[in-house]
Structure formats: structure tokens, C-alpha cells
């Protein structure tokens, strides 16, 4: 589904990812770990097609990223559920409108879609905040909302960048359980986290593997938990 082959990314001469090779296939569950600045977010952005490599090849759903038009990249993103670390919302729209945004950009939003969004919002504990504007929410609430939005369209794969960073332990476990359930249905998950306790908690539940990044290099490429 996603293949990175000898990929290097540099910003202003500084190498952020160095010769990284990685593949995400159906059924995979990867934890991506490493210290801050190791390149975790950049690797996730490569996987979502939001970042082009300086060298190497990125393939999304079998197609080289370099040959994809902006429309084709948009189509690829519609097949993904993406949660970035800086949870991004349209601050002038109520939370519910933000959650249904993946449907909005595809066409008219019908009541069934809104019901789906309401269910997901209730599940992540935001049922009471449907009309709230994103700036009025806490960091944890925004993170849960971002996850609800990412899962709304039943994505073929999930890319999550520190999705539990602002959540309490209980909510973190709840979120992890949801991702594991999705994974059991065949949805591959790539989740960046520095929470080792969460990774340990996942061990009895899922056959996950760990990717460890340090200074832009993969030092541990897919070891089992």
C-alpha cells in the first residue's frame, strides 16, 4: 500500500530522513518511535504524500508519488485516515462540520453521514461539543476530534502522529484499542508515538512491530514487540 525505497529528505541542507526503506501492507501495525526531531513526522508526511523526497522513491497504493498529479494525491489521501501531531481544524466551523469535512470535500453531506459523525464524536467523548468551535476545545479534545475525523470514512490505512500525546491514559488505551480493532479487520496502521508504556500495553493485543528512528535513520526496522 505504501512503499518507501531508499528515501532521503533534507530541509535547507539538513538531512531529516536518510536512506529510509519501509513498506506498509494490509494487516500491518507499526509503532514508529524515536526522540523528538528524529524524523517521525516527516516519515508520516511522506506516507501521506504531503512531502516529496529529495532522493529515493515513494509509492502510494502502487503508484510513484513523483508521477502523481495533485488530484491523484488527493484521491490517495481519501483512502487514508490521517492524524497529524498539530491537529488541524477550520477554526471558524463548528466541530461537527470539521468532523464531516472528509465527506464535504467529496460532495453533499447526507443525514446518514452526519449520524456516522455523531456516533464517532460520541464514542470519543465529544458528543456534547458538536457546535463548539475548535479553538474552545482542549488539546486532548482536539486530538480525539482529529481521530474521529480520520476514521469517519472507514479508511484503507491509518497514519497517526502522536495521537495520544494529549490524552489521559484511559483515553489513550481506548484509542489504541480502536486502532487495534481496525487493524484486525485488515486496516494497516502506522502510529508514531514516544509513549513506551502504550507500546507495552499493545503487546498482548496485537502483533505489532516497532520502527525506531534516530537522526533520520531507521535503526530498528520492524522488530516484533
**Residues near other proteins (CB under 8 A):** 48, 50-52, 70-71, 74-75, 77-78, 82, 84, 88-93, 97, 101-102, 104-109, 149
Select from 9, 3, 60, 34 the least CA-distant residue to 162: 34
Report, in Å, the least distance between residue 101 CB and other proteins: 5
Query: Taking the complex as a whole, how short is the minimal distance between the CB of residue 95 and other proteins, in angstroms?
Result: 13
Scored b (16 or more CB within 10 A) or e, 83-95 reads bbbebebeeeeeb
| Rg of the chain (C-alpha set) | 17
Q: Which residue has the cell 466551523?
A: 93
Angle at 106 between CA 2 and CA 73, to 5 degrees: 30
Return the number of the residue (146 or 208) whose C-beta is nearest other proteins.
146
Instruction: Compute the least distance from the CB of residue 6 to other proteins, in Å.
Output: 20
Which CB sits closer to other proteins, 22 or 103? 103
Per the structure block, which three cell numbers stand in for 159? 497514519
Nearest approach in angstroms of CB 70 to other proteins is: 5
Q: Of 83 and 206, which has the nearer Cβ to other proteins?
A: 83
The nearer residue to other proteins, 15 or 101, going by C-beta atoms, is 101
Tell me whether residue 88 or residue 177 sits nearer to other proteins (CB atom).
88
Smallest separation, CB 35 to other proteins (Å): 25
Transcribe 14-83 into DSSP letters.
EEEEEEEEEEE-TT-EEEEE-STTSSHHHHHHHHHTSS--SEEEEEETTEEGGG--HHHHHHHHHTEEEE
109 or 180: CB nearest other proteins: 109
Contact predicate 62/55, CB 8 Å? no
Q: Which DSSP letter does residue 84 get?
A: -
Q: Minimum distance from CB of 40 to other proteins (Å)?
A: 17
Amino acid at each position: 500500500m505504501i512503499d518507501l525505497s531508499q528515501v532521503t529528505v533534507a530541509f535547507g541542507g539538513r538531512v531529516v530522513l536518510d536512506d529510509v526503506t519501509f513498506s506498509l501492507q494490509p494487516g500491518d501495525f507499526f509503532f514508529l518511535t524515536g526522540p523528538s526531531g528524529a524524523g517521525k513526522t516527516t516519515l508520516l508526511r511522506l506516507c501521506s504524500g504531503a512531502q516529496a523526497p529529495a532522493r529515493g522513491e515513494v509509492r502510494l497504493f502502487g503508484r510513484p508519488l513523483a508521477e502523481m498529479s495533485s488530484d491523484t494525491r488527493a484521491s490517495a489521501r481519501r483512502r487514508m485516515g490521517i492524524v497529524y501531531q498539530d491537529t488541524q481544524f477550520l477554526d471558524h466551523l463548528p466541530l461537527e462540520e470539521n468532523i464531516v469535512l472528509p465527506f464535504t470535500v467529496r460532495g453533499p453531506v447526507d443525514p446518514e453521514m452526519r449520524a456516522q459523525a455523531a456516533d464517532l464524536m460520541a464514542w470519543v467523548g465529544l458528543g456534547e461539543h458538536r457546535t463548539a468551535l475548535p479553538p474552545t476545545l482542549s488539546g486532548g479534545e482536539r486530538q480525539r476530534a482529529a481521530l474521529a475525523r480520520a476514521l469517519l470514512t472507514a479508511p484503507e490505512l491509518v497514519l497517526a502522529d502522536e495521537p495520544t500525546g494529549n490524552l489521559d491514559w484511559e483515553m489513550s488505551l481506548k484509542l489504541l484499542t480502536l486502532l487495534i480493532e481496525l487493524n484486525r479487520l485488515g486496516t494497516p496502521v502506522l502510529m508514531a508515538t514516544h509513549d513506551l508504556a502504550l507500546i507495552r500495553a499493545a503487546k498482548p493485543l496485537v502483533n505489532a512491530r516497532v520502527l525506531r528512528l534516530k537522526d533520520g535513520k531507521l535503526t530498528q526496522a520492524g522488530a516484533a514487540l
